[in-house]
Structure 1
Amino acid sequence: MGRRLISQRRGRGTPTYRAPKKRLNINLLYKNLHGRVVDIINDPGRNTPVAKILYSDGTNSYVLAPLGIKTGEDASFVSTLGKTPVGASVFSIEASPNSGPKLCRTSGSFATLVSKTGKKCVLQMPSKKKKILHSECRASVGIPAGGGHHEKPFLKAGKRWIAMHRRGKLYPRTSGVAMNAVDHPFGGPTKPGKPTTVSRNAPPGAKVGSWGARRTGYRKGKKD
């Protein structure tokens, strides 16, 4: 029998889980103009600070701030892959020319320019996979600011609640085995309970746990 899980009740839509309308909605954009950094903004939806760029024609745009940037400096860290030296670290990379930043936008993540051949540039991504992009794709040279923020512990549950609340995350999260039987398939005082594996074709409300798992727990025996 299916149960109306907490995630399904949240999906109904109430003011409790409604996203705030006054939150910043910043679109990252590159322009082929000379500009300088006029402000560095803390975006609640990102771990990387955002730099506000003022261009020579009087317009503004926002890009991810590299490590060590200051207000008043020229936005010379933005360049095409064809003009970037081999071996340089780049981030906030365009997937195609003029597509806008799409790759390596997480704080502290960057790709390395491995080689250039004609209009093709080879990048080594953070996953160690290599990706071929057009030489006219723009990127920011350096490393995005905000790296290492996961290394600092919260120390207090209240601070973690504030961090999760500002992003609309549910915290603290109650585990299924701690719920009542009416709230979750794993809930209730029944011992030893039920297996965590569930069919891939289970209906909503019953599809919880490990979907179509071949095995659970630690690997036993000889590895393949």
Structure 2
Amino acid sequence: MLAGTASIARLLGRSCGSVSSISRPRIIAAAKCPTVYQRPVACCSYATIAKSEEPLPITFESPFAKPPDRSEEMVRMRTYKPRTPGVRHLRRPVNDHLWKGRPYLPLTIPRKGHGLGGRNNSGRITVRHRGGGHKRRIRTVDFSRWDPGQHIVDRVEYDPGRSAHIALITSQQTGKKSYILAADGLREGDKVQSYRSGVPEDLLASMGGVIDPGMLAAKTAWRGNCLPLRYIPIGAVIHALGTIVNGPAKFCRAAGTYATVVAKDEIRGFAVVRLQSGEVRRFMIDAHATVGVVSNPTWRHRQLGKAGRSRWLGIRPTVRGVAMNACDHPHGGGRGKSKGNRHPVSPWGIPTKSGYKTRRVGKKNPWVVTERPRGKEKKDRL
């Protein structure tokens, strides 16, 4: 006991007194001495904001709504000192504006059941490499946005079920709360509005009784507002597009995605929109869309840093076919890494890669004007 007491006294320093005169309560009190154990907060910080050489997406000059100012040529990511192997390559987006607390519980439901492991209603695995992960609650996001009037953004939150961020908004007329997809640059205290149910009478009267998209843009438009494609000027940057008049948003809902209005044909009743993949597509002119770019655009630059972080997300390991036995995969067996001069196939023998086409001939989508570039055409475009 005396040897242990002496070692504690040496750690605490000679200022705490001799070993013979120190009792157990005095040693505990000395351990709480701020001059010995407490350090400045600045010394504990081991995260820094690094900048990548890869440029950000091109900003669009739109009379309706501009994406946030990204004039800097670098991508801001948070890196960490390599105190452990798991944080050596960890890179995370800088999102200091996100809400730090729990979600709004009335708009969430627990995510439970065997469906977490990629299984169908009979219990069979239909999607491989899924299972486990951290406990989650599903956020109920409003993709329709029928409620009119102004809404105040209470906060912007992280959503574990999607790559984009979500915003909790409150209606000024009814006080009803709802979750929407957050546009890039949307912050707490901003006001958003939906004109899907119609333009208010006072705003319509200020435009002379006729809705002019350009005048409507000058008066009210800002990121996060939802309105029909009929009222959106050509060249506007939008996201969360609906396909039919009364349906919810289907397109451009992932982090950093957007679309551009190319043309409108009010006589035939559709608008032509260019998607981010390069596909040019028709939409009903009364289908709705939201102004701006989807939030969290630097999500694609993240690096998880370790395998355990992937397991937290519910992603299980993926084993290569050449590493399996011949009875488990067509590429398995043999000595070394050979796959037997066979073209890449799935575990069930279906060809993969190499441009294997699975679309039915003669059943083209009538809404697609120009298909997205594929193969050599896509490489030439890049």
Match of 2:142 in 1: 28
Contact 1:44 1:166 in 2 (8 A): no
Bigger helix fraction: 2
The 5 A counterparts of 1:1-224 are 11=125, 17=131, 22-29=136-143, 30-34=145-149, 35-55=151-171, 56-76=173-193, 77-118=225-266, 119-154=269-304, 156-158=305-307, 161-162=308-309, 164-171=310-317, 173-190=318-335, 192-197=338-343, 206-207=348-349, 210=352
Q: Which amino acid aligns with 1:37?
A: V
Q: Distance in 2 between matches of 1:51 and 1:121?
A: 28
Compute the TM-score of the two structures, normalised by the length of structure 1: 0.72
Aligned length: 198
Q: Which amino acid aligns with 1:157?
A: K
SS at match of 1:145: coil
SS at match of 2:349: coil
Match of 1:222 in 2: none
Identity %: 24
Contact 1:197 1:213 in 2 (8 A): no
Bigger RCO of structures 1 and 2 (CA < 8 A, at least 6 apart): 1
The change in CA–CA distance for 1:10 and 1:67 in structure 2 (over 3 A counts) is same
SS at match of 1:82: helix
Q: Distance in 2 between matches of 1:193 and 1:121?
A: 49
Q: Which amino acid aligns with 2:170?
A: L
For structure 2, the residue ranges without an aligned partner over 5 or more in a row are: 1-117, 194-224, 357-375, 377-382
Q: Distance in 1 between matches of 2:344 and 2:303?
A: 35
SS at match of 1:17: coil
Q: CA deviation at 1:125?
A: 1.3
Q: Which amino acid aligns with 2:280?
A: K
SS at match of 2:230: helix
Contact 1:53 1:63 in 2 (8 A): yes
Larger Rg: 2
Q: Distance in 2 between matches of 1:136 and 1:33?
A: 16
Q: Which amino acid aligns with 2:159?
A: D
